[in-house]
């Protein structure tokens, strides 16, 4: 059949261009039951019979009986075709309310967590999603109207890392929706339609039903053109990232010396390396660039800009970083004190964790930031002069010997603009026997330990982490 040959060729082109999968790979197919995912599952089975396929379906419990019907349809389709099937049901609305996030984000988190779980259980390295050229065109156009950066205009990537050892691939990214429907019609294969996809009150649906049809009157090949543009821009993005990586720095003084293009690319790279989701919009990138130059010109040691998605661009001691925004909410203030041993230790009833390592092992142990945390601050201490350590909350009358004088901790916390809601929870690293302060993150290192002497033989690094989203 002509449509089958066409679809086979488009999937082969995508696979050849982006090395999505090998003929004998194990693939988990995300199966919603809609036309795109049904076509993806059947096309992979028909065109690549040596693939080991497993399908999975997530019931978000957002559409009542309709959602139950979709799950039953997906399971029946897999049973008919002899494909292993996995089902996940989750109360996404309740999760969104509990976690204070959007329903869309909660649903996405549930799906990806389920994908990873099944891949780990079945030793599957690839997850295939059914995004099409039509989806990509909608995404590019939507991002264009928002004033997105280059990564946004590059559209949906053909593949990306989902988790360690697991890659998400999109084999249908060169296939338009009309071709999907023609393929299913040729097979006499039914599919389900999510009723929420029919309503124009969702932004993506508005673009799909209203904007794109109008633009197609001007250029019938609009979707193909937008997708070709997105591929060119993605290649440009990769080139710029490689160029920027060669001179990447997080030091404000050095960043401020870069030209505007390189500075913006450096900011984007630093943002992605922080592990944050999404991409800052162009207006935010420009604001961060202006902050960097202003901080460099005026010698500002601390500055911050809040970004969408619960993140902030922070300058601390001349270093640019991206961290979770500290929300102005009251956290429980419970005094604590714990002995500090080698390893990673989440401090109970606080958003902080502390890690003690030999300094020689720092790069090895910190290659990956602990999941759910962002690095807050760290310091190198002379272990042979400090003895045993403990970590505790602040106490009445705390002082720190720094800068050649003894200072009240309260005054230093004010001076360094540590958020009020964190001050009672801030991990203070102390000598276990005396409770004397050795290291206050983002504030000071005690004079006795700020300068490592030549006689010091045992160095250690204390790293303080804060939970993502706090």
Condensed to tens digits (0 to 9), the pLDDT of residues 14-57 reads 999 999 999 999 999 999 999 999 999 999 999 999 999 999 99
pTM: 0.61
The token pair at 263 is: 């500075």
- Residue identified by tokens 């039903």 is 209
Chain Cα centroid distance, residue 445 = 32
State the pLDDT confidence band at 75, using cuts at 50, 70 and 90: very high
Measured CA to CA, the distance from residue 37 to residue 29 in angstroms comes to: 8
State the pLDDT confidence band at 287, using cuts at 50, 70 and 90: confident
| Maximum mean pLDDT: which of 141-145, 153-157, 303-307 | 153-157
* Mean pLDDT value of segment 462-466: 86
Q: At 340, give phi and psi (nearest 5°).
A: -115, 115
Query: What burial class does residue 43 get, using C-beta atoms within 10 Å of its C-beta: 0-12 exposed, 13-18 middle, 19+ buried?
Result: buried
Q: Residue 366: its pLDDT value, please?
A: 43
Q: What is the crossing angle of helices 103-122 and 92-99, to 10°?
A: 110
Measured CA to CA, the distance from residue 180 to residue 58 in angstroms comes to: 22
Task: Examine the pLDDT at 218 and tell me if it is beyond 80.
Answer: yes
* Mean pLDDT value of segment 55-66: 89
More confident residue, 103 or 195: 103
Q: Residue 234: its pLDDT value, please?
A: 85
Task: Examine the pLDDT at 449 and tell me if it is beyond 50.
Answer: yes
| Maximum mean pLDDT: which of 151-165, 187-201, 235-249, 411-425 | 151-165
State the pLDDT confidence band at 362, using cuts at 50, 70 and 90: very low
CATH of 2-225 among 3.40.50.620, 3.40.50.1370, 3.40.50.300, 3.10.20.30: 3.40.50.620
> Around Cβ 418, how many Cβ atoms within 10 Å?
17
Strand partners, 380: 461
- Number of residues assigned to the chain: 470
Chain Cα centroid distance, residue 316 = 22
With CA atoms as reference, report the closest residue to 59 among 22, 87, 97. 87
Q: Residue 98: its pLDDT value, please?
A: 78
Q: Which pairing describes strands 343-346 and 444-445: parallel, antiparallel, or unpaired? A: unpaired
With CA atoms as reference, report the closest residue to 112 among 58, 62, 170. 58
Q: Residue 316: its pLDDT value, please?
A: 79
Task: Examine the pLDDT at 6 and tell me if it is beyond 90.
Answer: yes
Q: Among the listed ranges 15-24, 122-131, 240-249, which one has the minimum average pLDDT value?
A: 240-249
The answer to whether 401 touches 448, Cβ cutoff 8 Å, is yes
Q: Residue 466: its pLDDT value, please?
A: 84
Task: Examine the pLDDT at 94 and tell me if it is beyond 90.
Answer: no
User: Percent of the chain beyond pLDDT 90?
Assistant: 28
With CA atoms as reference, report the closest residue to 385 among 462, 463, 459, 461. 459
The answer to whether 175 touches 187, Cβ cutoff 8 Å, is no
Q: Residue 384: its pLDDT value, please?
A: 64
Task: Examine the pLDDT at 217 and tell me if it is beyond 90.
Answer: no
With CA atoms as reference, report the closest residue to 311 among 152, 470, 162. 470
Q: If DSSP codes are grouped into helix, strand and coil, which group holds residue 84?
A: coil
Q: If DSSP codes are grouped into helix, strand and coil, which group holds residue 346?
A: strand
Model confidence over 379-393: pLDDT tens digits?
Answer: 887 766 666 888 999
Measured CA to CA, the distance from residue 46 to residue 17 in angstroms comes to: 21
Measured CA to CA, the distance from residue 270 to residue 283 in angstroms comes to: 17
The token pair at 160 is: 């990306």
Q: Residue 13: its pLDDT value, please?
A: 93
- With b for 16 or more beta-carbon neighbours within 10 A and e for fewer, the 232-262 pattern comes to ebbeebeebbeebeeebebebeebeebeeeb
> Around Cβ 199, how many Cβ atoms within 10 Å?
10
Q: If DSSP codes are grouped into helix, strand and coil, which group holds residue 143?
A: helix
* Mean pLDDT value of segment 229-255: 81
The token pair at 307 is: 């970004």
Kindly report, as residue ranges, where domains of CATH 3.40.50.620 are found in the chain: 2-225
Q: Among the listed ranges 176-190, 276-290, 396-410, which one has the minimum average pLDDT value?
A: 276-290
- Residue identified by tokens 């390592």 is 357
State the pLDDT confidence band at 364, using cuts at 50, 70 and 90: very low
The answer to whether 84 touches 74, Cβ cutoff 8 Å, is no
Q: Residue 469: its pLDDT value, please?
A: 55
Measured CA to CA, the distance from residue 250 to residue 402 in angstroms comes to: 26
Task: Examine the pLDDT at 442 and tell me if it is beyond 90.
Answer: no
H or E element in which residue 337 lies: strand 337-340
Task: Examine the pLDDT at 2 and tell me if it is beyond 50.
Answer: yes
Model confidence over 183-201: pLDDT tens digits?
Answer: 999 999 999 987 666 555 4
* Mean pLDDT value of segment 146-154: 75
Q: Residue 216: its pLDDT value, please?
A: 83
- Residue identified by tokens 């039951």 is 33
Q: Residue 235: its pLDDT value, please?
A: 85
* Mean pLDDT value of segment 68-95: 92
Q: Residue 278: its pLDDT value, please?
A: 67
* Mean pLDDT value of segment 111-132: 93
Q: Among the listed ranges 139-143, 145-149, 151-155, 271-275, which one has the minimum average pLDDT value?
A: 145-149
DSSP character for 251?
B
Q: Residue 113: its pLDDT value, please?
A: 87
Query: What burial class does residue 119 get, using C-beta atoms within 10 Å of its C-beta: 0-12 exposed, 13-18 middle, 19+ buried?
Result: buried
The answer to whether 33 touches 77, Cβ cutoff 8 Å, is yes
User: Percent of the chain beyond pLDDT 70?
Assistant: 86
Q: What is the crossing angle of helices 2-18 and 35-47, to 10°?
A: 80
Task: Examine the pLDDT at 450 and tell me if it is beyond 60.
Answer: no
The answer to whether 456 touches 385, Cβ cutoff 8 Å, is yes
Dihedral of CA atoms 265, 245, 233, 164 in degrees, nearest 10, equals: -110
Integer-rounded Cα Rg, in Å, for the chain is 26
Answer positive or negative: Cα dihedral of 372, 336, 391, 424. positive
Q: Residue 240: its pLDDT value, please?
A: 73
């Amino acid at each position: 059949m002509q449509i089958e040959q066409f679809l086979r060729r488009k999937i082969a082109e995508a696979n050849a261009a982006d090395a999505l999968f090998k003929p004998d790979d194990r693939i988990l197919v995300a199966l919603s039951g809609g036309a795109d995912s049904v076509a993806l599952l059947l096309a992979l089975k028909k065109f690549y019979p040596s693939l080991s396929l497993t399908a999975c379906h997530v019931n978000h419990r957002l559409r009542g009986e309709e959602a139950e019907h979709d799950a039953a349809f997906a399971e029946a389709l897999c049973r008919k075709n002899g494909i292993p099937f996995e089902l996940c049901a989750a109360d996404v609305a309740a999760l969104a309310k509990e976690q204070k996030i959007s329903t869309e984000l909660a649903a996405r988190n549930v799906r990806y967590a389920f994908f990873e779980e099944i891949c780990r259980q079945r030793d599957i390295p690839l997850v295939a999603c059914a995004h099409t050229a039509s989806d990509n065109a909608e995404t590019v156009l939507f991002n264009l109207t928002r004033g997105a950066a280059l990564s946004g205009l590059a559209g949906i990537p053909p593949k990306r890392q989902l988790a360690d050892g697991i890659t998400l691939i999109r084999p249908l990214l060169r296939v338009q929706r009309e071709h999907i429907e023609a393929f299913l019609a040729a097979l006499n294969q039914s599919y389900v339609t999510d009723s929420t996809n029919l309503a124009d009150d969702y932004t993506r649906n508005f673009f799909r039903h209203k904007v794109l049809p109008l633009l197609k009157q001007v250029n019938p090949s609009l979707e193909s053109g937008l997708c070709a543009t997105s591929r060119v821009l993605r290649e440009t993005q990769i080139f710029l990232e490689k160029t920027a990586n060669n001179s990447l720095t997080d030091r404000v003084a050095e960043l401020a010396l870069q030209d505007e293009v390189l500075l913006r690319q450096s900011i984007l790279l630093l943002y992605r390396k922080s592990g944050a989701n999404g991409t800052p919009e162009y207006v935010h990138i420009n604001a961060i660039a202006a902050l960097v130059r202003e901080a460099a010109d005026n010698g500002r040691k601390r500055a911050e800009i809040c970004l969408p998605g619960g993140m902030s661009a922070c300058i601390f001691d001349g270093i640019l970083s991206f961290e979770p925004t500290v929300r102005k909410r009251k956290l429980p203030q419970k005094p604590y004190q714990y002995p500090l041993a080698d390893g990673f230790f989440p401090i109970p009833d606080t958003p902080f964790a502390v890690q003690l390592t030999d300094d020689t092992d720092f790069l090895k142990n910190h290659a990956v930031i602990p999941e759910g945390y962002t690095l807050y601050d760290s310091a190198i201490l002379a272990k042979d002069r400090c003895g045993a350590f403990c970590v505790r909350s602040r106490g009445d009358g705390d002082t720190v010997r720094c800068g050649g004088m003894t200072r009240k901790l309260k005054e230093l916390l004010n001076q360094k603009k540590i958020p009020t809601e964190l001050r009672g929870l801030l991990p203070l690293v102390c000598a276990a026997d005396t409770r004397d302060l050795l290291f206050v993150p983002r504030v000071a290192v005690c004079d006795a330990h700020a300068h490592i002497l030549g006689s010091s033989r045992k160095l250690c690094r204390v790293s303080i982490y804060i939970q993502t989203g706090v």
